[in-house]
Amino acid sequence: MGSRSAMVRAHTGRLRRRKAVEGYLLISPWLVGFLAFTLGPLLASLYYSFTDYDVLQPPRWIGLGNYATLLHGDPLFWTSLYNTAVYTLLAVPLGAVAGLAVALMLNQRVPGIAVLRSIYYLPSVMPAVATAVLWLWLLDPHTGIINSLLRLAGAPQPGWLADPNWAKPALVLLSLWGFGTSMVIYLAGLQNIPTELYEAAMLDGAGELRKFRHVTLPMLSPVILFNVIIGTINSFQVFTAAFIMTGGGPANATRFYVLYLFNQAFGYFHMGVAAAMAWVLFLLVVLIAFAQFRLIGSRVYYEGAARR
């Protein structure tokens, strides 16, 4: 009896090992891709961040030298970080409000609503380069549509991308062009709110504003948190618009963090410095996301239990 059970266990063990081998073989293309194109470059960038590396010469170990240079000897590093922080503080709240407002408007049962949703979502799937070129024309201080409309209204016409004081607001305005992605997520969250809650609020005499404040916002709070965190991460990686439209100017007003990282890597071939900047950005994004979870997450309502 004992030998029979031992044979069964041995057979089961061989079967499990064969299934495991088959499973790993099936996912081996993904594993190879992950090791070669994700984990490998990630670890390589961490190593290069501690070296003096210019591609043409072998990397030379300098320890924390790149990080010390960034923090104490490179004023443009702090300028790029400041520009990115200002852009984030403007673009993320405005994008969240715009996305939610349009989602509320499109969460109606009226004829042609599907077409309207598609129209509002369409700009977010346009190629980033095409969008940047389009907005270069729209923001032209002399022939652009925006200044032409301001001129007709008798309002001042900013220099937009040619003015250091208006360049960042111009790119923030461009960022609102792509709120379609967050709008779709808000719309899905709105349609997931039980109608019984609104009916109960109406029976209690709540108006539209109170229903929005006491029903819609609490039930939508997980979606808002998600969109705010994703928007923050994306805003810290703003690159394409500034690269095409301003190149970091005027007077470094739009030299954002990732644009400066790109300049360090492919403009000056300071690959070690660029790798150090990438890891500083990673740590900053992790810390900010953690802070958002701590500050906002405690006020988020989850169905069945409040988040503590």
Helix-helix angle 271-296:65-73, to 10 degrees: 70
CB 139 within 8 A of CB 161: yes
pTM: 0.88
Tell me, what's the pLDDT at 12?
A: 74
Cα–Cα distance list, 110 to 31, 183, 194 (Å):
48, 18, 20
Cα–Cα distance list, 69 to 54, 265, 273, 274 (Å):
16, 15, 8, 12
Positions in the chain whose pLDDT score sits under 70 = 1-8, 10-11, 303-308
Tell me, what's the pLDDT at 307?
A: 42
- Tokens 């360049």, residue located: 167
Q: Which residues pair with 60 in a beta bridge?
A: 52
Tokens of 38: 């994700």
Three-state DSSP at 273 gives helix
Three-state DSSP at 127 gives coil
The CATH number given to 72-306 is 1.10.3720.10
Nearest to 236 by CA among 96, 95, 87, 93: 87
Domain coordinates in residue numbering, the chain: 2-48, 72-306
Radius of gyration of the chain (CA): 26
